[in-house]
Amino acid sequence: MPLQLVEHPLVRHKVGLLREVDTSTAKFRNLTREITGFLTYEAFRDLPTEPKQVRGWAGEVQVERIAGKKVAVVPILRAGLGMLQGVLDLIPSARVNVVGLYRDEETLEPVHYYNKLSHDIEDRRAVILDPMLATGNSMCAAIELLERAGCTDIRALCLVAAPEGIRSIDERHPGVRVYAAGLDNELNDQGYILPGLGDAGDRLFGTQ
Q: By the criterion CB under 6 A, which residues form the site for ligand URA?
A: 79, 132, 134, 191-193, 196, 199-201
Nearest approach, Cβ of 195 to ligand URA (angstroms)?
A: 9
Cis status, amide bond into 125, omega within 30 of 0? no
Nearer residue to ligand URA within complex by CB, 71 or 82: 82
Nearer residue to ligand URA within complex by CB, 69 or 78: 78
**Per annotation, catalytic residue among 103, 123, 167, 170:** 103
Nearest approach, Cβ of 71 to ligand URA (angstroms)?
A: 25
Nearer residue to ligand URA within complex by CB, 94 or 182: 182
* DSSP secondary structure letter of residue 131: S
Nearest approach, Cβ of 203 to ligand URA (angstroms)?
A: 8
Compute the residue count for the chain. Answer: 208
Tell me how far apart the alpha carbons of residues 158 and 160 are, in angstroms, rounded to a whole number: 6
What residue type is 92 in one-letter code? Answer: P
Backbone dihedral angles phi then psi of residue 148, each to the nearest 5 degrees = -65, -30
Tell me how far apart the alpha carbons of residues 151 and 73 are, in angstroms, rounded to a whole number: 12
Number of H helices, E strands in the chain: 6, 13
Is 40 catalytic? The answer is: no
Is 22 catalytic? The answer is: no
Nearest approach, Cβ of 106 to ligand URA (angstroms)?
A: 15
Q: How many CA atoms are closer than 13 Å to the CA of 151, on its beta-carbon side?
A: 28
Q: How many CB atoms lie within 10 A of CB 20?
A: 11
Is 49 catalytic? The answer is: no
Is 65 catalytic? The answer is: no
**Per annotation, catalytic residue among 49, 89, 104, 107:** 107
Nearer residue to ligand URA within complex by CB, 7 or 186: 186
Q: Which residues are catalytic?
A: 103, 107, 199, 202
